[in-house]
């Protein structure tokens, strides 16, 4: 006996990836419904060996469905998540809407799977921001050993984090560089993204940080430990898929780089590729399509008393979004619903 699953936003990058991962991980699905806005009604998507037709989310009845994986953005989630939750369909939401709600658990299963039991307050579980998800997978096992005081992170985030239009903009601008008669002005981004980096993701806040940077701070505290100090600089780079992060960690206790490497090698969801030679590290291009969070360049930071530097790379459409949502669904099924 399996689950009746809804995927809302099934025509988007993340929604399609959710369908792929449900199939790849052989999630116990009895029945699946795919939803999107009315303009996508009737569009076909594939799941396993089936062709599914998109249904209009406005007309969908969530009663009798076990879980709904939402990838529809905050505005639509605000309308439809309470409807699904009221019908006793547990919502696993990929938007930022509920991440900071104290009555909604924010979960990365490798880090805080026990928080799953808090879902019942609203029948909603939040998926973290893509840049946070991969970072906390790396931080949590190290925090368990040596207690993290402070994290300084700089991100190198791919354009897929902004959706299909952003991927098209990078593609079109890149081609235009080689065609002197073409001009593709920025629309998704504030400046040209091709052959460039943009230190600006989401809106600016009063203190000069951006909302993306604030998200990494707030979500790390909620998922791991409220006492951890985090400062972030989030940057968009001309990469299609795969987020990278340079992470500097300061601990309360000394942690040797060799022990840190061993801890990470033994931790769930992590693949350590760390050879001190040409090519002995992972780049975003190499992580595309993989479930793992890859860690490289692990080394002592001698400028602080107890410091470690590392390089962290992950497929943002997978661990940063769709994979983590499916892992939450697996945890909910295993720990709470127990049908599959």
d(CA 149, CA 250): 6
CB-based contacts of 177, cutoff 8 Å, min separation 6: 194, 195
* Residue labelled with tokens 């100090």: 229
Q: Choose, from 111, 143, 234, 243, the residue flagged as catalytic.
A: 243
Q: For residue 40, say whether it is annotated as part of any ligand binding site.
A: yes
Q: For residue 318, say whether it is annotated as part of any ligand binding site.
A: no
Q: For residue 12, say whether it is annotated as part of any ligand binding site.
A: yes
Q: For residue 284, say whether it is annotated as part of any ligand binding site.
A: no
Tokens of 16: 């399609």
DSSP string of 239-308, one letter each residue: -SS-EEEEEEEEESS---HHHHHHHHHTSTTEEE---SSTT-S--HHHHTT-SSEEEEEEEEETTSTTEE
Q: For residue 13, say whether it is annotated as part of any ligand binding site.
A: yes
Q: For residue 180, say whether it is annotated as part of any ligand binding site.
A: yes
Q: Which sign does the torsion angle of CA 260, 261, 263, 267 carry?
A: positive
Look at residue 83 and give its three-state secondary structure: helix
Q: For residue 11, say whether it is annotated as part of any ligand binding site.
A: yes
Active-site residue 243, yes or no? Answer: yes
Cα-based angle 187, 193, 198 (whole degrees, multiple of 5): 105
Q: Choose, from 130, 234, 287, 312, the residue flagged as catalytic.
A: 130
d(CA 206, CA 226): 22
Q: For residue 182, say whether it is annotated as part of any ligand binding site.
A: no
Helix (H) or strand (E) holding 234: strand 229-236
d(CA 260, CA 252): 14
Look at residue 196 and give its three-state secondary structure: coil
Helix (H) or strand (E) holding 5: strand 3-8
Tokens of 64: 């009798």
CA-atom Rg of the chain in angstroms: 20
Q: For residue 316, say whether it is annotated as part of any ligand binding site.
A: yes
Question: Whose CA is closest to 319, among 2, 21, 7?
Answer: 21
Q: For residue 14, say whether it is annotated as part of any ligand binding site.
A: yes
Residue 147 backbone zone (phi > 0: left; psi -120 to 50: alpha; other: beta) = left
Contact 210, 203 (CB under 8 A): yes
Active-site residue 89, yes or no? Answer: no
Catalytic residues, by residue number, are 130, 243
Residue numbering of the annotated binding site for NADP(+): 11-14, 39-40, 160-161, 180, 316
Residue numbering of the annotated binding site: 11-14, 39-40, 99, 157, 160-161, 180, 236, 316
Residue numbering of the annotated binding site for substrate: 157, 236
Residue numbering of the annotated binding site for phosphate: 99
């Amino acid at each position: 006996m399996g689950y009746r699953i809804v995927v809302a936003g099934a025509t988007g990058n993340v929604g399609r990836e959710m369908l792929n991962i449900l199939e790849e991980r052989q999630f116990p699905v009895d029945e699946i419904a795919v939803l999107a806005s009315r303009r996508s009604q009737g569009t076909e998507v594939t799941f396993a060996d089936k062709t599914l037709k998109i249904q209009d989310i406005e007309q969908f009845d969530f009663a009798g469905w076990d879980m709904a994986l939402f990838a529809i953005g905050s505005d639509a989630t605000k309308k439809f998540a309470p409807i699904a939750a009221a019908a006793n369909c547990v919502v696993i939401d990929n938007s930022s809407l509920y991440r900071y709600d104290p009555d909604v658990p924010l979960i990365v299963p490798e880090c805080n799977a026990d928080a799953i039991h808090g879902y019942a307050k609203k029948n909603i579980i939040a998926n973290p921001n893509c840049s946070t998800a991969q970072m906390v997978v790396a931080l949590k096992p190290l925090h368990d050993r040596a207690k993290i005081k402070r994290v300084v992170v700089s991100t190198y985030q791919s354009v897929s984090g902004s959706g299909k239009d952003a991927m098209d903009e990078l593609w079109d601008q890149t081609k235009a560089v080689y065609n002197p008669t073409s001009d593709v002005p920025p629309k998704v981004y504030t400046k040209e993204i091709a052959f460039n980096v943009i230190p600006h993701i989401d809106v600016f806040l009063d203190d000069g940080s951006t909302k993306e940077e604030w998200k990494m701070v707030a979500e790390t505290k909620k998922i791991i430990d409220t006492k951890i100090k985090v400062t972030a600089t989030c940057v968009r780079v001309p990469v299609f898929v795969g987020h990278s992060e340079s992470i500097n960690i300061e601990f309360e206790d000394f942690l040797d780089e060799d022990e840190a490497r061993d801890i990470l090698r033994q931790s769930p969801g992590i693949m350590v590729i760390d050879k001190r030679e040409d090519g002995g590290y992972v780049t975003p291009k190499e992580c595309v399509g993989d479930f793992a969070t890859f860690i490289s360049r692990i080394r002592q930071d001698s400028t602080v008393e107890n410091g470690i530097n590392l390089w962290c790379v992950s497929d943002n459409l997978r661990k940063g979004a769709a994979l983590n949502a499916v892992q939450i669904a697996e945890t909910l099924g295993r720990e709470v619903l127990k049908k599959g």
